[in-house]
């Protein structure tokens, strides 16, 4: 096993594309762009690249399993065990930073559970259909405008105030989100930016990818103002539906999206966290 380097980019791309077992974190930054940041380990033999595991942190104190891929030439549980053990040893040397995984597939659930990862939450998918009415917002003193690059440092402050450690994004991640969004705006009051949203679009419809409001102003309708604006935007674009993901135990978000007419689809992603032994 060894660390990945830029010389491995082509072989890693092939592994990711052709592997029967592939986990990719829902990330603004694709797996190949994490090369050069540790830990990003490869398993190989003379016949070629067998498996890869990448867990580089985006912020101090926490990281996500960003990539795990295993070829058909190796047993998936053996590849995971070897790569995870080496990754864990490196992370322990760093000071036992929190390791989290958003699992989209049952085979990956099993690998995580066998390695002392504990289920801590579920992310659920909600959907809004364009035929569903959504009430007009009733907010005064707040206006919406397009997000600008110079807003991002304020946006990251709001993001870090609004989200728990697992869900915070770095400035780099929010810059990537801004670049990849099809519709991004901020909510602005007299004293500055108080909330924001990023949305993306595809042939399947719109997706509300990220929304946050300053905690001191939550519950005052600003979040709904942003959601309403997103739905109006995609309805004008002709999108048939809009999706959003949120934590199953986030009652405030669930109430917000229910008010706008979103319904739970039944699609669920498990959130695991590694349990360090004392």
Contacts for 171 with CB less than 8 Å, ≥ 6 apart = 152, 153, 156
Mark the ranges of the chain whose per-residue pLDDT is less than 50: none
Residue 277 lies in a domain: no
91-122: pLDDT as tens digits: 989 887 899 999 999 999 999 999 999 999 99
- pLDDT at site 277: 67
Asked if residue 258 and residue 133 are part of one domain, the reply reads: yes
Examine the domain organization and report whether 129 and 177 are in the same domain.
yes
Contact 168, 59 (CB under 8 A): yes
Q: How far is residue 97's CA from residue 233's CA, in Å, rounded to a whole number?
A: 40
The pLDDT score that the predictor gives to residue 37 is 95
74 plus 150 within the same structural domain: no
- How many structural domains comprise the chain? 2
Residue 182 counted as domain residue: yes
Whether 278 maps to a domain, the answer reads: no
| Residue that finishes a domain, picked among 63, 87, 115 | 115
For every residue of 201-263, DSSP letters joined together read EETTEEEEEEEEE-GGGTTSSHHHHHHHHHHHHHHHHT-SEEEEEEETT-HHHHHHHHHTT-E
User: Is 214 inside any structural domain?
Assistant: yes
Residue 278 has a pLDDT of 56
Which residue among 67, 83, 115 closes a domain?
A: 115
CB atoms near residue 162 (< 10 Å): 18
Tell me the residue range of the domain where 224 lies: 124-268
**Structure confidence at residue 110 (pLDDT):** 97
How are beta strands 98-103 and 143-146 bridged, if at all? unpaired
234: CATH:
3.40.630.30
CB atoms within 10 A of CB 11: 15
Model pLDDT, residue 46? 82
């Amino acid at each position: 096993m060894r660390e990945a380097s830029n010389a491995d980019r082509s072989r890693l791309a092939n592994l990711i594309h052709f592997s029967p077992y592939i986990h990719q974190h829902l990330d603004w930054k694709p797996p190949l762009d994490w090369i050069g940041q540790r830990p990003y380990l490869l398993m190989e033999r003379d016949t070629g690249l067998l498996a890869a595991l990448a867990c580089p942190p985006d912020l101090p104190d926490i990281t996500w399993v960003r990539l795990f891929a295993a070829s058909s030439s190796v047993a998936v549980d053996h590849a995971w065990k070897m790569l995870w053990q080496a990754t864990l040893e490196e992370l322990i040397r760093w000071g036992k930073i929190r390791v989290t995984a958003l699992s989209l597939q049952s085979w990956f659930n099993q690998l995580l559970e066998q390695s002392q990862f504990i289920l801590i939450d579920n992310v659920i998918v909600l959907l809004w259909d364009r035929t569903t009415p959504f009430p007009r917002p009733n907010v005064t003193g707040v206006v919406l405008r397009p997000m600008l690059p110079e807003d991002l440092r304020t946006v990251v402050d709001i993001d870090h105030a609004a989200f728990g450690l697992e869900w915070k994004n770095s400035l780099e991640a929010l810059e990537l989100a801004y670049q990849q969004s099809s519709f991004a705006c901020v909510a602005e009051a007299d004293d500055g930016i108080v909330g924001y949203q990023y949305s993306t679009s595809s042939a399947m419809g719109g997706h509300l990818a990220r929304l946050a409001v300053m905690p001191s102003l939550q519950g005052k309708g600003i979040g709904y103002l942003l959601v309403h604006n997103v739905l109006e935007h995609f309805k004008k674009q002709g999108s048939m539906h809009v999706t959003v993901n949120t934590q199953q135990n986030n009652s405030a978000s669930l109430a917000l999206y229910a008010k706008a007419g979103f319904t739970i689809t039944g699609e669920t992603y498990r959130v695991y966290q590694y349990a360090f032994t004392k």
